[in-house]
Chains A and B, each alone.
Chain A
Amino acid sequence: MFAYFIRRLFATIPVMGVVALFVFSLLYLSPGDPAAIIAGDIATEEDIAKIRANLGLDQPYLVRFGTWLWALAHGDLGTSIFTNLPVSHLIAQRLEPTVALTLCTLVITIAVAVPVGVLAAWKAGTWVDRAVMGFSVLGFSMPVFVIAYLLIMLFSMQLGWLPVQGYRSVSEGLWPFVSHMILPSVALGIVYMALIARITRATMLEVLAQDYVRTAQAKGLSSNQVLLGHALKNASVPIVTVIGIGIALLISGVVVTETVFAIPGIGRLTVDAILRRDYPIIQAVTLLFSGVYVLINLAVDMSYTFLDPRIRY
């Protein structure tokens, strides 16, 4: 099993290699000559050429890719064009709100979607099932920001229960933090909930048709014991897989959600970078989020042996 983990870990190298190559190519192809920008307006051709040589910009593509990878391995994500600060520094500053938002969303989503999916499968064919499936299609069909604005209009502007925008750190107190997190997490989580509720229902329907579920019912176990102890446990592998794949939806949504709710996180940093055409930031964020996505799915893959002891490598 350990050998499998190691093999699986190595299998992520080509994937991340392709991502790195893609991100570097975008940086390589990005318009504007950094040397000319640094040199300023009154620089001569020779000055620019000298700066270009100093920065290694006159080297061939693969050499520059190597240099870039080497710097990356040392935690150097480049320098922001607009602020002239190291990108890794800017990202570190904005990390906390994004991590908080993602974790809150993950918790709310799983806490809602899995039970709802189980319920829909248990009550298959009834109005409960149809309502869940209906909401799920609707969730797929609305962009994050439309959901976000509808929630703000209802809960913040009409009812006045929750703040409209902004972010409070946990260090400023639990309630301020939670009250600012509820709407963004729900808005961000809706698509994800729709996805997970759907797959939970589908997998549970399959498992509930199995002989051992009938046996469990026949020997007099309660519905809860059958559903949670026998069925959900055996349905966990596909559900966890989709939770892992769905992280991509969550990451894409973070960028938009932080914009709507004025949360000073990495998503907001990205949107500001788009407006300023600050390529190093955009590329670094793309690289970072893709890396997180690959790592999470690696962890999901490895969790299979714990979720289902029949799976051995």
Chain B
Amino acid sequence: MSAVAADIAAPRSVSPTWGRFRDALRRHPTAIFGAVVLLLMMLAAIFAPWLGTVDPQALSMLKRLKPPSADYWFGTDMLGRDVYSRVVYGTRVSLTVGIAVALLSTVLGLAIGMLTGFVRWADAILMRVMDGLMSIPAVLLAISLMALTQASLQNVIFAITLSEVPRVVRLVRSLVLTLREQPFVEAATATGTSIPRTLVRHILPNTIAPLLVQGTYIFASAMITEAILSFIGAGTPPNIPSWGNVMAEARSLFQIAGYLILFPGICLSLTVLAVNLLGDGLRDALDPRLARRM
């Protein structure tokens, strides 16, 4: 009966999806802006070859350092490569690194965090290791790892992940420690639920919301770290067009060809801003008390 009443009471909208979207837009305009920009960037990454781009690696000695024009929207670099194409293809690198680091570090952090929250001897050892890793500034940690290995996209992702994991572990551990004392977990233990089952069925679902927010912020900061690493020559290999690499190659040329830094810089900042705004929106929607990442 109540379902029927709700049906009658519900305001009739021509298009329910659009109505809901408009509602969300009014309440979280910046978050929706972030989502839309991120979506556009993802589309650009997927459809890079069909967006009026040429081969981002194609050299042309005759067309070096051409300023932006109708033919070369973002100009050409010192090897005559089309910067617009390099920037569009660069979207792929930044988003791949951002999403991969966010996923990897939340999954790893979740596993280690749950372990430390439930196994006392593991807690003592693992948290000392995490404290140690956290006291190495993220970029330096990544630099030391990258210096050891061959420059490759996987290694960049791994190096940035390692510097992000301790913060996730801390978050998960504090969540688990609070959840462990909750009546529903006590009830589960009292009825003879095994520890692994308690972790998966009762603890895990309650960590999802904060982790989603944290993951979004990691997504944003990983893109910045990738750009910084590439910029100082310890990141994505030079044969892959990433925003950081395009800007790194312009390091000595910025006084005569500022556009080489401007366009990838704007794209990077806009994407990171979009993800940050999305994260703020998620945080407000999921848990208003959750403090912003430090």
Contacts and interface: CB of A to CB of B under 8 A. Distances in A.
Contact of A290 (B140, B145, B224): B140
B128 A290 contact: no
Interface string B251-294: 10011001001100100110011001100100000000001101
B247 A142 contact: no
A153 B258 contact: yes
B232 interface: yes
A252 B276 contact: no
A26 B135 contact: no
A149 B137 contact: no
Contacts of A21: 132
Given A17-B132, A138-B273, A145-B231, A277 B137 contact: no
A249 B221 CA distance: 11
B277 A242 contact: no
A231 interface: no
Contact of A164 (B255, B272, B273): B255
B228 A144 contact: yes
Contact of B136 (A19, A146, A149): A19
A198 B291 CA distance: 11
B111 interface: no
Contact of B148 (A30, A251, A294): A30
Interface of B is mostly: helix
B141 interface: yes
Contacts of B237: none
A31 interface: yes
Interface residues of A, number: 59
A14 B232 contact: no
Contacts of B247: 145-146
Contact of A143 (B141, B228, B255): B228
A282 B143 contact: yes
Contacts of B210: none
Contacts of A293: 135-137
B147 interface: yes
A111 B21 CA distance: 42
Given A18-B129, A143-B268, A271-B232, A289 B254 contact: no
A290 B135 contact: yes
B137 A245 contact: no
A109 B234 CA distance: 28
A245 B273 CA distance: 22
B138 interface: yes
Given A138-B273, A143-B227, A157-B255, A283 B144 contact: yes
A274 B132 CA distance: 23
Interface string A250-271: 0111011001100000000011
- Interface SS of chain A: helix
Given A141-B220, A252-B137, A274 B234 contact: yes
Nearest to A17: B132
Interface residues of B, number: 44
A48 B276 CA distance: 54
B109 to A, nearest CB: 17
A29 interface: yes
Contacts of B133: 18, 22
Contacts of A255: 139-140, 143, 232
A242 B148 contact: no
A26 B159 CA distance: 13
B233 interface: yes
B233 A282 contact: no
Contact of B265 (A146, A283, A290): A146
B232 A149 contact: no
B186 interface: no
B55 interface: no
A271 B265 CA distance: 20
Given A252-B138, A255-B139, A274-B234, A242 B144 contact: no
A18 B255 contact: no
Contacts of A23: 144
A279 interface: yes
A113 interface: no
B23 interface: no
Contact of B261 (A146, A256, A279): A146
Interface of A: 14-19, 21-23, 26, 29-31, 137-138, 140-146, 149-150, 152-153, 157, 164, 195, 198, 202, 242, 245-246, 248-249, 251-253, 255-256, 259-260, 270-271, 273-275, 277, 279, 282-283, 285-286, 289-290, 293-294, 297
16 contacts: A26-B148, A137-B280, A138-B273, A141-B273, A145-B227, A146-B247, A149-B261, A164-B255, A195-B294, A248-B137, A249-B137, A255-B143, A256-B232, A259-B231, A274-B233, A285-B140
The 9 closest A-B pairs by CB, nearest first: A18-B132, A252-B139, A141-B273, A146-B265, A141-B272, A251-B137, A248-B137, A142-B269, A252-B137
